[in-house]
Amino acid sequence: MTETTACTLLQPKEYKSKVKPVWCPGCGDFGVLGSITKALSGLQIQPENAAIISGIGCSSRMPTYLRTYGFHGVHGRALALATGLKVARPELTVIATGGDGDGFSIGGNHFLHTCRRNPNMTYIVMDNQVYGMTKGQASPTTDPHWEKGKLTPGGTGINPFQPLVIALASGANFIARSSSSDSNGTAKVIMEAIRHPGFSLVQILSPCVTFRPEQRDWKNRLIPAPMGPTSDPAQAARRLLTDEGMYTGILFRGDRPPYQPRPEPSIDNIAELDEEFRL
Amino acid sequence: MSDSTQKTQQVIGTTEELLAYSLALEIEAVERFTELGDQMEVHNNHEVADLFYKLAEIEGKHVENVNKASAGKELPNILAWEFDWIDEGESPEGGAMEDAHYLMQPWHAIELAKHGEQRAVAFFKHVASNATDKDVEAMARELVAEEEEHVELLEQWQQRFPRPDEGWDDDLDPPTMVE
């Protein structure tokens, strides 16, 4: 707590744009929007110094609802765009946002390699275990026995993707899980994720009340992680493989240096530039 | 809607701190009702949207009142997650967004608002009973009385609307329909 007068600081609502979200009433993504604004306010990041990058899906609408810079990109490519931006403009706070389908299926390959590359940015995945925008198909994180997907009667029958385990194995430097029902707690986790050097993954359990109404009960099933974050990947792996997906909190803080290529020396004469393109 | 039964042992030490809590609570209420109003407007539920906007306007007056009471005092700037509310870390009048539904009726909107006020009563009662400072206790009791009055007003308001029948959320053309 600081002894500063609140009105001199940027308040969370000042990070919101004037566009009204079109998410379904009751959607968890409203809580995440609030958490992002609280985290940005907590860090007092000027809106022009932050960029929110997304792919496609309900949660990928996030940049529209914020007053920071933003880019609503193509399906599954949020991390590729965000990495490019961070490398070109390292002074910006870059946050990629999206859902489980966008991030782990269509964008699955980018996810693996962004974890490996470890750029200094944050990835917020609003995981509702369903494709909501396209009306309720099973996603990579859907339980194999979920029978209500029109394309998967009887369930998918295949193991769900384990994003935190995969992130750890691939080299992500900060791994956390949170819930949209805990907007303030999630804000703190996002703030820590932004502060931590390297690639930070925050999986936020964010119910889809339209296609997965049973997820309203998630908030009663959450378990605060019994131990603080570890920097030991082996210990983190043991925890992540046994937590049944409901432990919340910061689960891993690594110490790998972030990826940041040194800028190429600029070419300032036409002959050199010509040489670059000679076949 | 969850019950505010989880008490913490946090003690508010000064009236400035209590005013900061009170201000945050009312600001969250304004933002929450505005957001709910926007949600209903986007989903063409204009009657409930107007009601939420009205509730936001009323909460805005409460913000003004707290600001007046804070005149000349320097309130601490407490970050959202540093507040020690008694219910899962969320402000008493700021949570339960998942209870919104695009077909909800005025009765539900007031029920949701009433629940927030009841949680606020529980919070300030908790502060009063744990206070170690006489001024904090007195102010917390005043706030309890105010919030109880709000609950009563909402109960009267709610009586103007019939309690919706079972199946109020049935939709003959639901958004889940695959075209």
CB A63 within 8 A of CB A97: yes
* Burial of B6 from C-beta contacts in 10 A (0-12 / 13-18 / 19+): exposed
In chain A, residues with a C-beta closer than 8 Å to the C-beta of B82 are 1
- Residue B122's pLDDT is 95
Between residues B115 and A5, the one the model is more confident about: B115
What CATH number is given to the structural domain containing A45? 3.40.50.970
Chain B residues at the A interface, defined by Cβ less than 8 Å, are 2, 20, 23, 31, 35-36, 38-43, 74-83, 88-91, 94-95, 97-102, 104, 175-178
High-pLDDT (> 70) share of chain A, %: 97
Q: Using the beta-carbon criterion (under 8 Å), do A183 and B74 form an inter-chain contact? A: no
- Residue A2's pLDDT is 45
Model pLDDT for residues B52-76, shown as the tens digit of each residue: 999 999 999 999 999 999 999 999 9
A178 band by pLDDT with thresholds 50, 70 and 90:
very high
∠A88-A89-A90 over CA atoms, to 5°?
105
In chain A, residues with a C-beta closer than 8 Å to the C-beta of B70 are none
- Residue B86's pLDDT is 82
Establish, for the pair of chains A and B, how many residue pairs have beta carbons separated by less than 8 Å: 99
- B100 to chain A, closest Cα gap in Å: 5
Its domain, for residue A39, covers 9-276
Measured between CB atoms, which of A1, A5, A182 is closest to B78? A1
Measured between CB atoms, which of A182, A209, A211 is closest to B89? A182
- Number of structural domains in chain A: 1
- Residue A106's pLDDT is 96
Model pLDDT for residues A244-265, shown as the tens digit of each residue: 889 999 999 999 999 988 777 7
Amino acid identity, position A164: L
Q: Using the beta-carbon criterion (under 8 Å), do B79 and A4 form an inter-chain contact? A: no
- Residue A267's pLDDT is 75
Let me know if residue A107 belongs to a domain. Answer: yes
- Residue A266's pLDDT is 74
Q: Using the beta-carbon criterion (under 8 Å), do B104 and A25 form an inter-chain contact? A: yes
Q: How far apart are CA A121 and CA A236, in angstroms?
A: 21
Measured between CB atoms, which of B43, B77, B100 is closest to A6? B77
Model pLDDT for residues A7-66, shown as the tens digit of each residue: 578 999 999 999 999 999 999 999 999 999 999 999 999 999 999 999 999 999 999 999
Model pLDDT for residues B76-106, shown as the tens digit of each residue: 989 999 999 986 678 898 867 888 999 999 9
Closest-CA residue in chain A for B179? A135
- Spatial CB neighbours of B80, under 8 Å, sequence gap ≥ 6: A12, A38, A41, A42, A183, A184, A187, A188, B24
* The token pair that represents A105 in the structure block: 């299926």
How would you write chain B as a 3-class SS string?
A: CCCCCCCCCCCCCCHHHHHHHHHHHHHHHHHHHHHHHHHHHHCCCHHHHHHHHHHHHHHHHHHHHHHHHCCCCCCCECCHHHCCCCCCCCCCCCCCHHHCCCCCCHHHHHHHHHHHHHHHHHHHHHHHHHCCCHHHHHHHHHHHHHHHHHHHHHHHHHCCCCCCCCCCCCCCCCCCCCC
- Residue A5's pLDDT is 45
CB A68 within 8 A of CB A37: no
Closest-CA residue in chain A for B24? A6
Give which of A34, A28, A36 is closest to A58, Cα–Cα. Answer: A28
- A132 to chain B, closest Cα gap in Å: 9
Residue among B4, B23, B52, B79 with most chain A CBs within 10 A, to mutate: B79
Spell A203-217 as b/e; 16+ CB within 10 A means b: bbbbbbbbbbeebbe
Closest-CA residue in chain A for B88? A182
Q: What is the mean pLDDT of residues A155-169?
A: 96
Measured between CB atoms, which of A21, A135, A183 is closest to B90? A183
Is the domain B15-73+100-158 a CATH 1.20.1260.10 member? yes
- Residue A197's pLDDT is 97
Q: Using the beta-carbon criterion (under 8 Å), do B82 and A210 form an inter-chain contact? A: no
Chain A residues at the B interface, defined by Cβ less than 8 Å, are 1-6, 9, 12-13, 20-26, 28, 30-31, 38, 41-42, 135-136, 150, 181-185, 187-188, 207, 209-211, 216, 219-220
Residue A129 backbone zone (phi > 0: left; psi -120 to 50: alpha; other: beta): left
Q: How far apart are CA A274 and CA B133, in angstroms?
A: 77
In chain B, residues with a C-beta closer than 8 Å to the C-beta of A20 are 38-39, 41-42
Q: What is the mean pLDDT of residues A75-88?
A: 97
Spell A146-183 as b/e; 16+ CB within 10 A means b: bebbeebeeebeeebbbbbbbbbebbbbbbbbbbbbbb
A279 band by pLDDT with thresholds 50, 70 and 90:
confident
Q: What is the mean pLDDT of residues A258-274?
A: 81
Measured between CB atoms, which of A12, A22, A41 is closest to B42? A22
**Mean pLDDT across chain A, nearest whole number?**
93
A277 band by pLDDT with thresholds 50, 70 and 90:
confident
In chain B, residues with a C-beta closer than 8 Å to the C-beta of A43 are none
